[in-house]
A and B are shown apart, each in its own frame.
Chain A
Amino acid sequence: MRIEYFQLIDRIVDLNLADRKITCEATVPTASTIFEGHFPGYPLMPGVLLIEAMAQTSGWLVVAANRFERMAFLASVKEAKLRTFVLPGQALSITSHLEHEGSGYAVLNAKIRCDGKVVSDATLTLRILDFPNALVAEEMRKLADRIGLKAEARADG
């Protein structure tokens, strides 16, 4: 995780477009300026960043399902639950299932597990739009390479 850069996914470990599922891994850093404020003397991974991690995982699934021709943007979060505190250094497994892809939007069910136990879950709606410009598209492709998005999922791969 590179929290300060809002890159909350370390790697994609499983992408199954037939089953419309994805699994990502991420390790919460042991040190971050965020923990200096959240909270002083009691560092916790902020719940909103757990939701963002589920959104990014879901976004990669939608991007892959669209063969990297379009981008996903978080539109709504429903039934978000933050079940357990997540601490610096903990390894997370983040999964998402594409429940429905409509015209210009998708609805996904996401979960975060730590040591096999669900620590957070939510239903997310993402808007699916064209890349706003060539720079964003290129940067997203670079990031996809870094986190291991399979080439066969990509139209440009």
Chain B
Amino acid sequence: MSDTFEAIANIIAETCDIPRDSITAESHAINDLGIDSLDFLDIAFAIDKAFGIKLPLEQWTQEVSDGKATTDQYFVLKNLAARIDELVAAKGA
């Protein structure tokens, strides 16, 4: 499992008081873990700080609303970890 996934799983467990053991790479943050939009702001803040990035939540939300993306692409944790890795790589480029 990637270091990025481990980091965001720990953030979610701590922020939302969800048992760490119940959080897997296949977990959907909203559908499986029941994280609402307000709690996700806290998670986004922690991720932004931990990785030195700015998760493009508004862009993602708009893409889902427009039918150009599914929530799975951004909120299944292995996919979220991949997006974070992309943002970190883009920052360092």
Contact = CB atoms under 8 A, between A and B. Distances in A.
Contact of A75 (B38, B57, B59): B38
A103 interface: yes
A89 interface: no
A104 B42 contact: no
Given A75-B38, A76-B38, A102 B59 contact: no
B45 A100 contact: yes
Interface string B43-59: 01100110000111111
B7 interface: no
Interface of chain A, helix or strand or loop or mixed?
strand
B48 A125 contact: no
A103 B45 contact: no
Interface of B: 38, 41-42, 44-45, 48-49, 54-59, 61
25 contacts: A75-B38, A76-B38, A76-B41, A76-B42, A100-B45, A100-B48, A100-B49, A102-B41, A102-B44, A102-B45, A102-B48, A102-B54, A102-B57, A103-B44, A103-B55, A103-B56, A103-B58, A103-B59, A104-B57, A104-B58, A104-B61, A105-B44, A107-B45, A125-B41, A125-B42
